Each structure stands twice: as C-alpha cells, then as structure tokens.
Structure 1
Amino acid sequence: MHSRAISDPSARAAAQIAIEQYGGASQLKVREVTLPAPAAGEVRIRHTAIGVNFVDVYHRTGHYPLPALPAVPGVEAAGIVDAVGPGVDALQPGQRVVYAGPPVGSYASARTMPADRVLALPDDIDDAVAASLLLRGMTAHMLCSAVYPVKAGDTVLIHAAAGGLGLVMLQWAKALGARVIGTVGSAAKAELAVAHGLDEAILYREQDVVATVRTLTDGRGVDYAVDGIGGPTLLATLDTVRPFGMIASVGQVSGDPGPIDLSVLGPGRSVALSRPSVFRYVSDPARYREAGLATFERLRSGLKAHIGAVFPLAEAALAHARLESGDTHGSILLRP
C-alpha cells in the first residue's frame, strides 16, 4: 500500500446535533466542534444531505443504547470528501460519496468516517436521492434476498407501505415480479403507494387487515409479510401469512410486542418469524458493498425516491417530531 499526501490536513469547524441524555426530541441540541485531519484509513466528509431514519429515534430515546453519551445520532448521509488520511487510495478529495449504517454520527455538517464504510457516488445519482434511501435500499436488499428470496409470483404484504422503507420495499419486490399488498393510514397515502407500484392498498384504520388480506388472496394468505410497526400489528400479521410463509419484523414504531411464545407460530399457523438487523447484515464489508451497488442499480432501473420533507440541520428536533407523529410519507432529510 503506497502513501498519499493528505489533502487539507488542517482542522475543520463543524456543526453537530448531539444528545447528552436519552429522551424526547428536545434532547437534540446544536453544538460546534473542530474536526482534526483524518487519521490513517479515514476520510473527512462535508455533508450535503443527511437521511433521517426511525433508528435515529430509537438511538435518541435509548431504546437502542448508543456506545456512550454525549453522542451524535444519524446513520446515513451523502457529501463530498474534503480530506483523506494516510493509506486511503480508493477515495479522492472532491469526490462525491454516500454511506449508511454505523458508526453513528451523520447529524453534522461534516465528519470523519472509516474509508471502507464509504461508497463513491455515481455521477447519475443525486446526493439527496442517495441520502434518502441508501439504508432503505440495503434493507430491501436484505429482506428480498437473505431473509426471504422474493420471486416472481409471490404475494408480499408490506405494512406502512407509504413510509420511507415501505415505498422502497414495495418497488424492490415489484421489480422481482411480486404482487404487493400494503397497509396505509389514509387515502392520500394509498394514492402515493399505488403511484409507486402498489397493487392493493388496505386502509388499516377503516378495514380489517387480516380479513382483507384473506379476501385478496382467496383465503390462502401472503407468502411474505414485512412489518415495521410492531406491537399488536405484528401479532395480527401472523394470521395474514400462508402456512410455511415468512414474516420479517423490522421495527416497532407502535411498541414492543413483548415475548412471543413459539407455540403461536405453529402447528396451526406453521409460519416463520425473522427479526433481521440491517446493521448486522452490512457489518460484513463485502455485503455492505453488494447491497450498496444493488441499490444504485435499482435506482438506474427505475426505483423512485420520494422525499417527503427537508429540514435544516439545526431543526433536527422538528424532523424527529414529524417522524414520530406518523404523519409522514416517504423520506425525511436534513440539510447542513
């Protein structure tokens, strides 16, 4: 490995959104820091767009504890490399990049990152688009390949189909030839999801989800259900899946369903329940790159990003409040 002269080795001022203790959105506070030159194997990135994900809320509340406090949340962003550390040859100062997943810390105008967790951003993909759906694209790749290999002819149920993950997941499954049924909270969200390829929308506030799914599948049930809601929704979803089908639990927006007795999965139901972690999935560098490149390819093949709201970085608390309200559609971004 040959050495590289460090570009812009001087320190750089940066704004961060940090939490000093777990709690509500008001815990997100602006602070100013000075970033040193990147160390060996690192790059320093000036952010142009920052993704907001529900896992950020889990980190802020302590539901998923962070390594230490105070801490800067955020796991996804796009930007421009402004300095590289010794030994970094794959990335150049001035290059557009994107990343998703740990280590946390994307709620900042700039940050340093391990170079092997950063992907070069192709010229034909916009920064905002990349920051709004790379993590969700990686999640969809995991859900449609590693958890349950979705194939043509499958019927897939997606809860919160008009949400950030839902819109990406439904397009991914459709591209693989699946029929997709989705639950949504309003007619407007149904219209949005259908515009992104959803085959049938279920208004869960007005319709019995289990009965409607059974009707739409002639009593058979779906092959695969993806639930990011949790709570009682996950338990009800058990009755929407065919025998020997699969449920993936990928979130708990409405709460933890609590311990689930294995007896509820069979023999009457005979279904499989998975609790996959995209962070664990992409902790392997080869899989991280594979999932990232697969997301880029889906974008080139017609995957549409839907950015529902953009907030200044300093208004991260408002972004979290909007996300937690449930009155969102698509993705939320922060702009430094």
Structure 2
Amino acid sequence: MAKAVRFHETGGPEVLRWEAVDVPEPGAGEVRIRHEAVGLNFADTYFRTGLYPSPLPAGMGVEAAGTVETVGPGVEDFAPGDRVTYTGSPLGAYSTERVMPAEHLIALPDEIGFDTAAAMTMRGLTTAYLLRRIWPVAAGDTVLLQAAAGGVGLIFTQWARLLGIRVIGTVSTKAKAEVAHAHGCDEVIIYTEENVAQRVRELTDGVGVRVAYDSIGARTYASSLASVARRGLLVCFGTASGPVPPIDAMQLALAGSVYVTRPALADFIADPAERRELAAELFGHVAAGRISIEINQRYELSDAVAAHRDLESGRSVGSSVFSV
C-alpha cells in the first residue's frame, strides 16, 4: 500500500504523520505517478503552520520527480514509463505514489536524475523567473541576494555568473559564506556580524543595488530596502523569518522611488509554454554542467518531522531531498 505524510491540524513539525493511503486510478486529465525523490522546501512549512491555509486533513509537499504509471482519459502528452518532475499544487508530494493533474507535469530529460530534479525543480524555476522574467537585469548589474547559501541561493549565484551579473550575497555564518563564494557569489556579507545596507553601499560606491532579492522576510526586508539604488526593485519572494510587514508608500519615495513586488512562482509557470521555456533553459544549464545541483541533506520520507526541524533551525545548506 502507498504511504504519505499528512497533517490533520496545523502546528509544529510534530503534526506531520506517516500514514497508509489509498491511491485511486487516475480520472480524466490525471496521471498516477510513482515517486523516486521528493523535494523539501521551506514553503512546505507555510502549509504545515497554516500561514498558507489548506483544507484539513491534507497532504504535504509540492515538488517531486518520478515515473508515470498510468494515465487517465484525455491525457495525450504523457504515457506510462515517462520520467517527469513537477512543482506546485495540489499538496501531496510527500508520498510514495499519487494521482495528480497531468497539466502540472514537466518532462524530465534522461540526463537529469530524479534526485537532482526533486532538489531543483522549484528552486531552479524560481531562479529562472527571478533572473529571466521579473526585472531586466543584465551583464554588469549588481544585485543583492539574501540567504545566498540556501537552495535558491546556490542556483541563483551560478546562473547570475553565467549572465555576467555581480552578486552581493548575505549569509548567517562564515561556513555558509565559504559555500556562497564557492558557488559564484562575488561578495558575501555575514548579516549576523555586519550592517548589510551599510556594507552594500560601501561595495557599490554609495549607489546601491539594481535589485534586492529577499526570501527571508520580516528580519531582513528593511536592510534589503535600504540597499536598493534609486528607482531599483525590492523582490520579496519568501518569508522564512515571518511575513513582511505593511510598507507605507512614502517609504518607497524616501528610499529613492523604489519598486516593491511580492511574486509567487505559480504565476510565472501558469502558462504551459512559459513553463516549458523556463524549464528548458534550467535543464539545459544543469545537463551541460554549467549549473551544479548539490544535495546536502537527504532524508527518508518517514523522517519528515526531523527534516522540518532541521529546515526551520537554519542548519540546512543548499538543497534537501527525501528518498522514496
């Protein structure tokens, strides 16, 4: 029988349960997938805590890679035996197998392993829209990236280097600073020891950065905003330390007519053609070795409680996956 991680109430990691589940035959437009690897993302904790509401009881996780077992009526783009990956709703990726809409699947090239796909589909597509869609950054631009040693950070810095973009990254420890440097970060600020905005201004001759990318949220948004150059952009794409508080419009004027956006990956991969285009660029870099995906933490699916505790403690570096 299939098994899955589910939660019946919101709360800490301890609410996650490892349960036997029934997996039905796929209906119209659906497929049944046997998972080979499952992604662990900080966004998973938002569903578990209730920050992102979902009907209960609920499955957990939005990213996995595996093999199509059967397809339902009307599915034409996939067949049994196809290698696929995905990221996005509905919840339920923390499972050995599941049924889900075929429209969310992305064909996985043979050159990319299941573990690699589960470690980078969400993070890689997030990086893709941050660098290729949300703002016209170009060679010679300088940007700030909070959490430069995180899962998105390590992909972002490598991709930015390919584009000729200078990255000033922030991390919490010296050990993470070394990791960020090794993956292409040009300058690293240890935010627990230095004033981020002040250091950014020093590194940019007082100008600031064209774009500040912030996935940490409450603890860092103020330093990110203070680091942006006149008419630049603050991208708040995550809330690892808590939601960003309301920003008064006058703050943006005083900061230099700065723009602010709070994007979501779902809105950049909703169009199937755009999703395929972004995935193709990502997979191309990874398959060619231009971007490396390092899996630094591995867990069994039954160890989801421990995995979430590690994730929220800040002990994790780079990408984490569950083996199935």
Q: Out of 269, 283, 300, which is 1:312 matched to?
A: 300
2:140 counterpart of 1:161: no
- Post-superposition Cα deviations, 1:194-222, rounded to whole Å, max 9, x if no partner, equal 11111111111111111111111111111
- Post-superposition Cα deviations, 1:275-319, rounded to whole Å, max 9, x if no partner, equal 101122222222222222222122134111121101100011111
2:69 counterpart of 1:82: yes
Q: 1:160 corresponds to which letter in structure 2?
A: A
Mapping of residues 47-196 of structure 1, within 5 Å: 47-66=35-54, 68-196=55-183
Q: CA RMSD in A?
A: 1.2
Q: Out of 321, 325, 332, which is 2:313 matched to?
A: 325
Quickly say closer, same or farther: Cα 1:306–1:209, change in 2 above 3 A.
Answer: same
Question: For residues 23 and 89 of structure 1, what CA distance do their matches in structure 2 show?
Answer: 40
2:8 counterpart of 1:45: no
Equivalent residue, structure 1, for 2:291: 303
- Post-superposition Cα deviations, 1:10-37, rounded to whole Å, max 9, x if no partner, equal xxx3101000011110011011112121
Equivalent residue, structure 2, for 1:35: 23
Q: Give structure 1 regions of 4+ aligned residues with deviation exceeding 4 angstroms.
A: none
Q: 1:334 corresponds to which letter in structure 2?
A: F
2:14 counterpart of 1:26: yes
Q: 1:63 corresponds to which letter in structure 2?
A: L
Equivalent residue, structure 2, for 1:209: 196
* TM-score, length-scaled by structure 1: 0.93
> Which SS does the other structure have where 2:168 is aligned?
strand
CA contact (8 A) 2:38 2:63 kept: yes
Deviation at 1:268, TM superposition (A): 4.4
Q: Which stretch shows the higher mean deviation, 83-92 or 121-130?
A: 83-92
2:225 counterpart of 1:238: yes
> Which SS does the other structure have where 1:134 is aligned?
helix
Question: For residues 46 and 93 of structure 1, what CA distance do their matches in structure 2 show?
Answer: 10
Q: 2:40 corresponds to which letter in structure 1?
A: V
Question: For residues 146 and 131 of structure 1, what CA distance do their matches in structure 2 show?
Answer: 23
CA contact (8 A) 1:42 1:112 kept: yes
- Post-superposition Cα deviations, 1:156-200, rounded to whole Å, max 9, x if no partner, equal 110000001111122222221100110011111111111111111
> Which SS does the other structure have where 1:65 is aligned?
coil
Q: 1:321 corresponds to which letter in structure 2?
A: R
Question: For residues 109 and 20 of structure 2, what CA distance do their matches in structure 1 show?
Answer: 31
Equivalent residue, structure 1, for 2:249: 262
Deviation at 1:78, TM superposition (A): 0.5
CA contact (8 A) 1:239 1:269 kept: no
Mapping of residues 3-14 of structure 1, within 5 Å: 13-14=1-2
Q: Which stretch shows the higher mean deviation, 283-292 or 110-119?
A: 283-292
CA contact (8 A) 1:150 1:173 kept: no
Give the number of equivalent residue pairs: 323
> Which SS does the other structure have where 1:78 is aligned?
strand
CA contact (8 A) 1:181 1:202 kept: yes
CA contact (8 A) 2:39 2:63 kept: yes
Give percent identity, aligned residues only: 46
- Post-superposition Cα deviations, 1:41-97, rounded to whole Å, max 9, x if no partner, equal 11111101100111100000000111x110001110001111111222221212211
Equivalent residue, structure 2, for 1:8: none
> Which SS does the other structure have where 2:220 is aligned?
helix
CA contact (8 A) 1:16 1:109 kept: yes
Question: For residues 15 and 313 of structure 1, what CA distance do their matches in structure 2 show?
Answer: 9
> Which SS does the other structure have where 2:197 is aligned?
helix
CA contact (8 A) 1:238 1:269 kept: no
Question: For residues 111 and 232 of structure 1, what CA distance do their matches in structure 2 show?
Answer: 37
- Post-superposition Cα deviations, 1:144-165, rounded to whole Å, max 9, x if no partner, equal 1221122101101100000011
Q: 1:290 corresponds to which letter in structure 2?
A: E
CA contact (8 A) 2:225 2:255 kept: no
CA contact (8 A) 2:297 2:320 kept: yes
